[in-house]
Amino acid sequence: MGHDPGVVVARFIDACAADDRIVAAFLAGSHATGTADAHSDLDLGVISTDETFADVIADQRALISRLGEPLFLDHFDRAWNVFFILADGTEGEIFFGHEGGLNEIDVGPFRSLLDRHGILAGATFPFSPPDPDEQRERLRQILNWFWHELSHFTTALGRDDLWWAYGQLEALRGHCVNLMRIQHGAEAQEEPYEKLAKAIPGSELASLRTTFCPMERQPMLRAAQELVRFFRSHAPRVAEAHGAAYPEALAHLMTERLDQLAR
């Protein structure tokens, strides 16, 4: 990416050390485990006192400005987590925690950068497993929304609206990928392909390669048929394993609608 993450980390340490509200700071992710490559972003953590937690979060832009000129800055509706891109090309995120909430931190392996009170000594921040109730609700959505998206696909293709139909193929494929994430005990993601290779063996998605097709009616129809075949071969089993209801009647109705397009 043409930048030196070590420089940004050094600035981060200086910025945290100069702020008395911050009692500890750490480096997480691939840079902490020694597995970073030229494309890895920075995962940083800040731990404040309990009393100043809200103030430190409110001042997050000032902290990041100490690292470089931010061209992108957004917390995506999670105030305790901010993502940034600096003018030198450095990308990263900062997690904000507080002394009384160390058990809420789940960043995985980390390396201490600052520890005024020794609170990081012996600490572990293991990744939290997916919440079963949230996972079941996400699965319920996937099991039903797949067929809803297929309804849109058949409508779009029936009207020869290829752009709309192509977009629906992407939605269907995303549901298939997230279904497999859940099958392997990983969380479904808003960006289904993000770090997918770490969650699912590539061989299990091999048949989906053919669903990346030209924007033409027949290839798109074949892609939709393959996505339906893939989904129907996995979804009932995943639903049963998680105590979710599989909408068989809806699946049958929408599959029949797709079959009618192929006649």
Q: What is the mean pLDDT of residues 100-108?
A: 91
Place of tokens 């293991």: 126
Q: In angstroms, what CA-CA distances link 106 with 27, 37, 96, 163, 227?
A: 13, 22, 11, 41, 34
pLDDT of residue 1: 45
Grade residue 202 by pLDDT with cuts at 50, 70 and 90: confident
Question: What φ, ψ does residue 141 adopt, rounded to 5°?
Answer: -65, -45
Whether pLDDT at 14 is above 70: yes
pLDDT of residue 262: 83
List pLDDT tens digits, range 218-246: 999 999 999 999 999 999 999 999 999 99
Rounded mean pLDDT of 7-17?
97
State residue 65's pLDDT score.
Answer: 96
What span, in angstroms and rounded, lies between the C-alpha atoms of 213 and 79?
39
pLDDT at 109: 93
pTM of this structure: 0.83
Q: Where are the domains of the chain?
A: 5-115, 132-262
**CATH number of the 5-115 domain:** 3.30.460.10
For residues 190 and 152, the model is more confident at 152
pLDDT for residue 76: 86
Long-range pairs for 99-108: beta carbons < 8 A, 24 or more residues apart: 99/23, 99/47, 99/48, 99/49, 99/50, 100/50, 101/50, 102/47, 105/45, 107/26, 107/28, 107/29, 107/43, 107/45, 108/28, 108/29
pLDDT in tens, 36-94: 998 899 999 999 999 999 999 999 999 999 999 999 999 988 888 999 999 999 999 99
Q: Which residue has the tokens 């609700």?
A: 137
Encode pLDDT of 124-179 as tens digits: 998 888 788 888 899 999 999 999 999 999 999 999 999 999 999 999 999 999 99
pLDDT in tens, 107-124: 999 999 999 999 999 899
CATH 3.40.50.300 is right for the domain spanning 132-262 = no
